[in-house]
Amino acid sequence: MDVALETEQLGKRYGKRWALQDCSLRLPTGRIVGLVGPNGAGKSTLLHLAVGLLRPDAGEVRLFGRSPYDNPAVLPDIGFVAQDTPLYRDFTAAELVQLGGRMNRRWDAALARERLAQLGIPPKLPVGRLSGGQRAQVALALALAKRPRLLLLDEPVASLDPLARREFLQSLMGSVTDSGTTVLLSSHLLADLERTCDHLVVLHSSRVRLAGAVDDLVDAHRQLVGPRHIGEPIAGVGTVVRARHTDRQSTLLARIDGVVDPEWTVHDVTLEDVILGYLADGETTVTRTDWEVPA
Amino acid sequence: MIEFVLDARSKVNTYVQLIQQVKQALRVGLLVPGDQLPKVRDVAQSLAINPNTVLKAYRELEIEGLVEGRPGVGTFVRRTLGGPPVADQAELRADLVAWLGRARAAGLSPEDVIALVETTLRATLAAEAVRTQPASAG
Amino acid sequence: MIWLTWRQHRRQALFTLVALLALAALMIPTGLMMRASYADKGLAECLRVLNAVQPDPGRAGPCSRALNQFADQFNSMSLLGVLFLVLPLIVGLFWGAPLVAREVEQGTHRFAWTQGIGRRQWALVKFGFVAVVAVLVAVVYGLGMSWWVAPLTGAAQQNRFDVFFFDMQGVTPIGYTLFAVALGICAGVYWPRMMPAMAVTLGGFIGLRILLTVLARPHYLPLETRAIPIEGTIGEPGGASGDWIIDKGIRDAGGTMVLPGAQAACGAESARPAGGRCPPLEEFGEGAYNWQLFQPADRFWLFQGIESGIFVALAAVLLYLAVRRIRRVA
């Protein structure tokens, strides 16, 4: 299995705060990888480390076997669309296509023009005056025109309205089918990820909580409902990801490794259930006393 | 050519939904042998879903022998999916009507009937699966 | 890459060009006017008369009047000259500081630096382009200013070494401009936000300029001293030489400073009481003399070269630091 992006004990620190810590991942080629986590979880940091914008403070990151930091040799292999799709706002879309041609040795201007024409993007208007959705499409078209081996998208649809979001994901999926590019896509919109991704990385509080192929992850987890449970091991259950209790009943999200004790009712889970389970698990808890209200 | 739709609220896996829709189309005769299924790219784009999901659904259908992929051309229907002969269906239906009469007499409401059918179906299928598994493993 | 730089900054370039043209529209007519008036009044000749060791009293009067007239008419023009002093700073603030800072502030560096070109190459081309344009602009206005200010300096009997006059003509504006741009770029790399970068540029430029002007410039070369006798001197001692007098005073025959900061002359013999002695000599004793610490006038271009050289060297260091640091910008 070819590896597009590999990190080992990767860490990045801003001052005293670790934005990313102990991150070890292997992302296979040909996948669409979803990078999930709440704001500030370290998604952008990981992406910026992967494209060489940031220097790691710990560990290693390798893009197709090469370290991306301060290494222009990896640049032709990546297409990057940063958060809020920054583009030179006074450039027209046509000029941006031209610009890409001058800043890249491998550049498929025809592909970019074709896509933008199909989407009805006006070529002679400064991109600052386009809608957010159109601007995101321009950024995507530019990233794809590099014919990258790995396409990295940082929250590409977060600021888009539902229609523009849908259109963006449509054109992304269409072009990924054509090119076979590996995609790493960060988002906090779970529904979008569930449809588009076949591989998943869950980040929370600067650490990787979960990583793997979506089907495997969903298959490996179950929701269990049964009598109140106080931490004793359950047959067939590997790890309990999250537990909720009432006075006589417990509901568990668990990674299973065999036939579960028949005392428990077992339910299948969706990808969203799994993700939410891991995110809730990582949540920092604020107690009532922090708010100075009676418990 | 058919067009896929997705039920976003359904808990059924996306690729399973695609398979079900193809089978449904085969059953009602919307698709007949020789018809082409939508191209992977078009499905991925129009539904904004992962192309691998579409590929997986088509592969599953291929394994079941319902469709065949022709490299570089597309995926085509190989055979149709007819249920059992209509005569058999009529017989089963008559049995079911009689059984429903007994259920009504026993005081079961329509909801009770559906719940009973569903649980029984699931239990039976599960038992069958357990019975066939050691055989296939061995 | 050069195309990008041009395309990205062409509006700025246009603004600069328009500003330069506007300045030219202001400076060329006033410059011509001053030169015409200077020639009409025969000021060049007048200055020779007034600066002679023994001025002809018959011609000195009208000449002084002519000079005063000229000064009354055009002295307000010196204010315009101040504008030229801040031009390098403006270039540094609006060309240098935003170069990286604006890119980072708007996030476009994430776009630019993930294209096929490494950011070091990006920086070299951009910094180089902007520096070359800044130097061209500086050459134009430096030379223009020298031409424009010449009659003013002449008529006001201003020393070319004087603060402001030294700073706005010759080659120093080129050094200042290059330095200001480099400082702006470097500040933008180290503090990649517009406001901090501009603030650092502003503070750094003004601070260093004042520091060098006040403390360092008089000592670029060893100072020379000279003694000018009080007897026989009329007018300002050594006034016409164009030397840059750093310090002066009156010393007695033994060489002890008796009156710092002052100079004395006997004045015309006719003004004295018959047989009276030269009054300052009466006051300070026989053998007292005017003492001066100075840089000779012929060092003007040397000093221009040294001053520009310092700023060009600083600019080079700053640009080097900026290119080195650019890979650390996040």
What pLDDT does residue C44 have? Answer: 79
Instruction: Provide the residue type at C245 as one letter.
Output: I
The answer to whether position A294 is within a domain reads no
Q: Do A178 and A267 belong together in one domain? A: no
- Going from the C-alpha of C225 to that of each of C69, C237, C321, the distances in angstroms are 35, 13, 41
Q: What pTM was estimated for this model as a whole?
A: 0.82
CA B12 – CA A224 distance, rounded (Å): 19
* A75–C contact, CB cutoff 8 A: yes
CB C218 within 8 A of CB C295: yes
Q: Do B125 and B71 belong together in one domain? A: no
Please state the rounded mean pLDDT for residues B20-29: 87
CA A255 – CA A263 distance, rounded (Å): 17
Burial call B93-113: b when 16+ CB within 10 Å, e when fewer: eeeeeeeeeebeeeeeeeeee
* Residues B122-135 pLDDT 10s: 888 888 877 776 55
The answer to whether position B2 is within a domain reads no
Q: Do B72 and B27 belong together in one domain? A: yes
Q: Do A197 and A221 belong together in one domain? A: no
Task: Inform me whether the pLDDT recorded for C240 exceeds 60.
Answer: no
Contacting residues of A for C326, CB less than 8 Å apart: none
Contacting residues of C for A99, CB less than 8 Å apart: 3-4, 7
The answer to whether position A147 is within a domain reads yes
The answer to whether position B50 is within a domain reads yes
**C296 pLDDT band (50/70/90 cuts)?**
confident
Task: Inform me whether the pLDDT recorded for C27 exceeds 50.
Answer: yes
C261 contacts: CB under 8 Å, gap ≥ 6? C247, C248, C249
Q: Do A229 and A158 belong together in one domain? A: no
SS3 at position A18: strand
Please state the rounded mean pLDDT for residues B34-51: 92
Contacting residues of C for A80, CB less than 8 Å apart: 110-111, 114
**Chains near A (3 or more Cβ pairs under 8 Å):** B, C
Question: Which of A178, A205, A232 marks a domain boundary?
Answer: A205
**B87 pLDDT band (50/70/90 cuts)?**
low
Task: Inform me whether the pLDDT recorded for C127 exceeds 50.
Answer: yes
Contacting residues of A for B53, CB less than 8 Å apart: 195, 198
Range of the domain at A120: 3-205
Strand partners, A23: A10
Q: Do B53 and B96 belong together in one domain? A: no
Task: Inform me whether the pLDDT recorded for B45 exceeds 50.
Answer: yes
Q: Which of B105-119, C141-155, C285-299 has the highest mean pLDDT?
A: B105-119
Contacting residues of C for A75, CB less than 8 Å apart: 114-118
CA B115 – CA C201 distance, rounded (Å): 78
SS3 at position A55: coil
What pLDDT does residue A138 have? Answer: 95
What pLDDT does residue B137 have? Answer: 44
The answer to whether position B3 is within a domain reads no
Q: Which residue of A has its CA nearest to C117?
A: A103
CB A109 within 8 A of CB A145: yes
Q: Do A271 and A228 belong together in one domain? A: yes
CA C127 – CA C132 distance, rounded (Å): 9
In 3D space, the residue among A54, A44, A50 whose CA is nearest the CA of residue A82 turns out to be A44
Helix axes C98-105, C172-190, angle to 10 degrees: 20
CA C282 – CA C278 distance, rounded (Å): 7
Total domains in chain B come to: 2
Q: Do A159 and A273 belong together in one domain? A: no
What pLDDT does residue C237 have? Answer: 65
Q: Do A147 and A103 belong together in one domain? A: yes
What pLDDT does residue C169 have? Answer: 80
Selected residue with higher pLDDT from C138 and A294 = C138
Average pLDDT, chain B: 85
SS3 at position C84: helix
Q: Do B53 and B72 belong together in one domain? A: yes
Q: What is the DSSP letter of C321?
A: H
User: Looking at the partner chain, which of B6, B11, B50 has a beta carbon nearest the beta carbon of A173?
Assistant: B50
Interface test with chain A among B52, B59, B119, by most A beta carbons within 10 Å: B52
CB C266 within 8 A of CB C233: yes
Q: Which of A125-129, C163-167, C276-280 has the highest mean pLDDT?
A: A125-129
Percentage above 90 pLDDT, chain C: 36
The answer to whether position B4 is within a domain reads no
Q: Do A96 and A238 belong together in one domain? A: no
Burial call A162-194: b when 16+ CB within 10 Å, e when fewer: eebbbbbbbbbbbbbbebebbbbbbbbbbebbb
What pLDDT does residue C267 have? Answer: 65
Task: Inform me whether the pLDDT recorded for C188 exceeds 90.
Answer: yes
Please state the rounded mean pLDDT for residues C95-112: 94
| Beta-strand relationship, A78-81 and A150-154 | parallel
What pLDDT does residue A108 have? Answer: 94
Locate A266 and state its tokens: 């077992």
What pLDDT does residue A33 have? Answer: 95
Q: Are the beta carbons of B44 and A191 separated by less than 8 Å?
A: no
The answer to whether position A288 is within a domain reads no
Q: Do B92 and B123 belong together in one domain? A: yes
The answer to whether position B5 is within a domain reads no
Burial call C237-246: b when 16+ CB within 10 Å, e when fewer: bbeebbbbbb
Average pLDDT, chain C: 85
The answer to whether position A83 is within a domain reads yes
Q: Do B20 and B60 belong together in one domain? A: yes
Percentage above 70 pLDDT, chain C: 91
Q: Do B93 and B61 belong together in one domain? A: no
* A25–C contact, CB cutoff 8 A: no
Task: Flag residues of chain A having pLDDT under 50.
Answer: none
- Going from the C-alpha of C120 to that of each of A100, A272, C3, C321, the distances in angstroms are 18, 43, 17, 12
What pLDDT does residue A287 have? Answer: 64
Q: Do B45 and B97 belong together in one domain? A: no
C275 φψ region: left (φ > 0), alpha (ψ -120 to 50), beta (else): left
Question: Which of A205, A237, A265 marks a domain boundary?
Answer: A205
What pLDDT does residue C270 have? Answer: 60
Q: Are the beta carbons of B48 and A169 separated by less than 8 Å?
A: yes
What pLDDT does residue A185 have? Answer: 94
Q: How far is C67 from chain A (nearest CA, A)?
A: 54
Q: Which residue of A has its CA nearest to B42?
A: A174
* A82–C contact, CB cutoff 8 A: yes
C and B touch with 3+ CB pairs <8 Å, answer: no
In 3D space, the residue among A257, A243, A253, A295 whose CA is nearest the CA of residue A274 turns out to be A253
Q: Do A197 and A220 belong together in one domain? A: no
Q: Are the beta carbons of A103 and C1 separated by less than 8 Å?
A: yes
Question: Which of B44, B77, B110 marks a domain boundary?
Answer: B77
Domain of residue B40, CATH code: 1.10.10.10
Between positions 57 and 116 of C, the ones with CB within 8 A of A are 106-116
Range of the domain at B102: 86-137
Please state the rounded mean pLDDT for residues C288-302: 88
CA C308 – CA C173 distance, rounded (Å): 8
Where do we find the tokens 């996030």? C107
Contacting residues of A for B48, CB less than 8 Å apart: 166, 169-170, 172-173, 192, 195-196
Domain of residue A97, CATH code: 3.40.50.300
What pLDDT does residue C156 have? Answer: 66
Q: Do B42 and B21 belong together in one domain? A: yes
Question: Which of B77, B98, B127 marks a domain boundary?
Answer: B77
* A112–C contact, CB cutoff 8 A: no
The answer to whether position B26 is within a domain reads yes
Where do we find the tokens 């470097």? C186
User: Looking at the partner chain, which of A31, A166, A173 has a beta carbon nearest the beta carbon of B44?
Assistant: A173
Q: Do A92 and A21 belong together in one domain? A: yes
Total domains in chain A come to: 2
Between positions 108 and 137 of C, the ones with CB within 8 A of A are 108-118, 120-121
CA A210 – CA A275 distance, rounded (Å): 8
Maximum alpha-carbon separation in chain A = 68
Q: Are the beta carbons of C7 and A54 separated by less than 8 Å?
A: no
* B52–A contact, CB cutoff 8 A: yes
Q: Do A81 and A193 belong together in one domain? A: yes
Selected residue with higher pLDDT from C55 and A126 = A126
The answer to whether position B95 is within a domain reads yes
A and C touch with 3+ CB pairs <8 Å, answer: yes
What pLDDT does residue B138 have? Answer: 39
Between positions 121 and 140 of A, the ones with CB within 8 A of C are 139
Q: How far is A83 from chain C (nearest CA, A)?
A: 9
Question: Which of A149, A171, A205 marks a domain boundary?
Answer: A205
* B10–A contact, CB cutoff 8 A: no
A135 contacts: CB under 8 Å, gap ≥ 6? A85, A87, A127
Q: Do A126 and A178 belong together in one domain? A: yes
A–C interface: beta-carbon pairs under 8 A: 75
Q: Do B90 and B60 belong together in one domain? A: no
Q: Are the beta carbons of A178 and B41 separated by less than 8 Å?
A: yes
Number of H helices, E strands in chain A: 8, 13
Q: Do B20 and B73 belong together in one domain? A: yes
The answer to whether position B45 is within a domain reads yes
Q: How far is B86 from chain A (nearest CA, A)?
A: 36
Q: Do B48 and B65 belong together in one domain? A: yes
Q: Do A239 and A137 belong together in one domain? A: no
CB A101 within 8 A of CB A131: no
Task: Quickly count: other Cβ atoms within 10 Å of residue A99's Cβ.
Answer: 23
